[in-house]
Amino acid sequence: MSRELKLGLLSLIIIATALWGYQYLKGKNILHTVRTYKVVYDNVEGLEVSAPVEINGFSIGSIQKISLNPENVKSMLIAFEVEGDYRFPKNTKATLSTSNSLVGSKKIVLMFDDLCQTDCLEDGDRMISASRSILETILPKEDLKNHLAILRGEVGGIMDSVMSAANGENADNSFARSLRNMEISMQNLASLTSTMDKFTKATYSDLETTISHMANITASLEKSSGEIKSIMDNVNTISNQVAQADLGETINKTDETFNKTNALLTDLQSSVAQVNGSFTKIDGILSDIENGEGTIGKFMKDETLYQNMNLLMQDFRLHPKRYVRFSVFGRKGKAYEYPEGDPGFDEIPKEEKE
């Protein structure tokens, strides 16, 4: 045998072994006879692909596919395979049951009376579906009925004992009092419920009005959400500006400005006081003038002085030589001659007249 033929045979063996291992991991054994059956369930919660198919607790196959039933989309179509040369009658039921493991996963249990010899289910046929609850899975149906009957009798005996203790000759015991207190409590609870029902009916209209007002307020807030957002944005902007501003320096500058303003006000008050003093002095001078005191006062108020000043001015105008005498060459000036009718002639000294 050539080397190439040996390599080819080895490759075929490896490929076949890999295919067998892959199928075995999927739950198929290509070395045994395998038949596929189908069943439909309304609810397959907890049932998964590769879940076991059992007969009396012995696994004979596994679930291969779970898909939507094309005939009725409200149910699920399950395809499972059975290994071995098993022939099932057409009335076989594929019961969806819960396993006894801690996980509580689902499995399919095949239930039938006897193996089929003729008119059996063929590969690809559909079985009758059925399901069992968790309690039925733990206990067979007959055992469950027996346990329920025993439980019913025990519960009945307990209830008889309770009623006897509550209503019998020893009805004044603590248990009877507890039952009476419980009855009173239930009556009080019923009364409270009735009162609450009346109160609810009485305040239903007010409650409805309040809810309507709350709905209106909510609608108004929703309409004003844009304005509220704008206000909040403005407040946030102002807060950021205040946070970013150097408040300490601003306050110091403000204090300096206030101090300078106070100094200016103090100087202004001093100036005003001085002005007030000046005005007071002016008022005094004006008062003296008004009262005829001093030169200006006499000039303003004294008629005699006024007339004398007029005469003086008139005399100066008429006889300027009386007041101004000078000689260019040092010659003695000519004596002044008083005119006739001089208004001041009577007051001239006698020496000057001669």
- Between CA 109 and CA 130 the distance in angstroms is 9
The residue that leads in pLDDT, 341 or 266, is 266
Decide if 7 is inside a domain.
yes
Q: Are residues 24 and 5 in the same domain?
A: yes
Nearest to 129 by CA among 86, 96, 90: 96
CB atoms within 10 A of CB 38: 16
Decide if 76 is inside a domain.
yes
The residue that leads in pLDDT, 69 or 26, is 69
Q: Are residues 49 and 130 in the same domain?
A: yes
Q: Are residues 58 and 122 in the same domain?
A: yes
- Between CA 77 and CA 79 the distance in angstroms is 7
Give the per-residue pLDDT at 348. Answer: 58
Give the per-residue pLDDT at 113. Answer: 87
Which residue is it, tokens 């969806």?
Answer: 96
Whether 95 shows a pLDDT value over 90: the answer reads yes
Decide if 205 is inside a domain.
no
Q: What is the pLDDT of residues 309-347, one digit of tens each?
A: 777 787 777 777 767 665 555 555 555 555 555 555 565
Q: What is the DSSP string of 51-110?
A: -EEEETTEEEEEEEEEEE-TT-TTSEEEEEEEESS---BTT-EEEEEE-SSSS--EEEEE
CA-based radius of gyration for the chain: 68
Whether 275 shows a pLDDT value over 60: the answer reads yes
Relative to beta strand 58-68, strand 52-55 is: antiparallel
Structural domain ending residue among the three candidates 110, 138, 166 = 138
Decide if 310 is inside a domain.
no
Q: 31: pLDDT confidence band, cut at 50, 70 and 90?
A: low
- Average pLDDT for residues 44-52, to the nearest whole number? 90
Q: Are residues 84 and 42 in the same domain?
A: yes
- Average pLDDT for residues 259-274, to the nearest whole number? 85
- Average pLDDT for residues 151-175, to the nearest whole number? 67
Q: Are residues 43 and 26 in the same domain?
A: no
Structural domain ending residue among the three candidates 118, 138, 158 = 138
Question: Among the listed ranges 26-30, 228-232, 308-312, which one has the minimum average pLDDT value?
Answer: 26-30
Q: How many residues does the chain have?
A: 354
Q: Are residues 18 and 108 in the same domain?
A: no
Q: Are residues 26 and 97 in the same domain?
A: no
CB 41 within 8 A of CB 130: no
Decide if 51 is inside a domain.
yes
Give the per-residue pLDDT at 54. Answer: 93
- Average pLDDT for residues 50-65, to the nearest whole number? 91
Highest mean pLDDT out of 30-44, 97-111, 290-304: 30-44
How many structural domains are present in the chain? Answer: 2
CB atoms within 10 A of CB 240: 10
Decide if 82 is inside a domain.
yes
Range of the domain at 57: 33-138
User: What is the per-residue burial (b if ≥16 Cβ within 10 Å, else e) of 252-289?
Assistant: eeeeeeeeeeeeeeeeeeeeeeeeeeeeeeeeeeeeeb
Decide if 63 is inside a domain.
yes
- Average pLDDT for residues 61-80, to the nearest whole number? 93
- Between CA 319 and CA 66 the distance in angstroms is 156
How far is CA 70 from its chain centroid? 50
Structural domain ending residue among the three candidates 109, 138, 167 = 138
Q: What is the pLDDT of residues 126-161, one digit of tens each?
A: 999 998 766 565 556 666 677 677 787 777 777 767
Q: Are residues 10 and 66 in the same domain?
A: no
Question: Among the listed ranges 164-168, 193-197, 219-223, 279-283, which one has the minimum average pLDDT value?
Answer: 164-168
CB 108 within 8 A of CB 63: yes
Q: Are residues 109 and 87 in the same domain?
A: yes
Q: Are residues 6 and 95 in the same domain?
A: no
User: What is the per-residue burial (b if ≥16 Cβ within 10 Å, else e) of 122-152?
Assistant: eeeeebebebeeeeebeeeeeeeeeeeeeee
Q: Are residues 19 and 45 in the same domain?
A: no
- Average pLDDT for residues 62-73, to the nearest whole number? 92
Give the per-residue pLDDT at 296. Answer: 72
- Between CA 190 and CA 185 the distance in angstroms is 9
The pTM for the full model equals 0.37
Helix, coil or strand: residue 126: strand
Relative to beta strand 52-55, strand 106-111 is: parallel
Question: Among the listed ranges 3-17, 169-183, 311-325, which one has the minimum average pLDDT value?
Answer: 169-183
Q: Are residues 99 and 49 in the same domain?
A: yes
Decide if 204 is inside a domain.
no
The residue that leads in pLDDT, 248 or 211, is 211
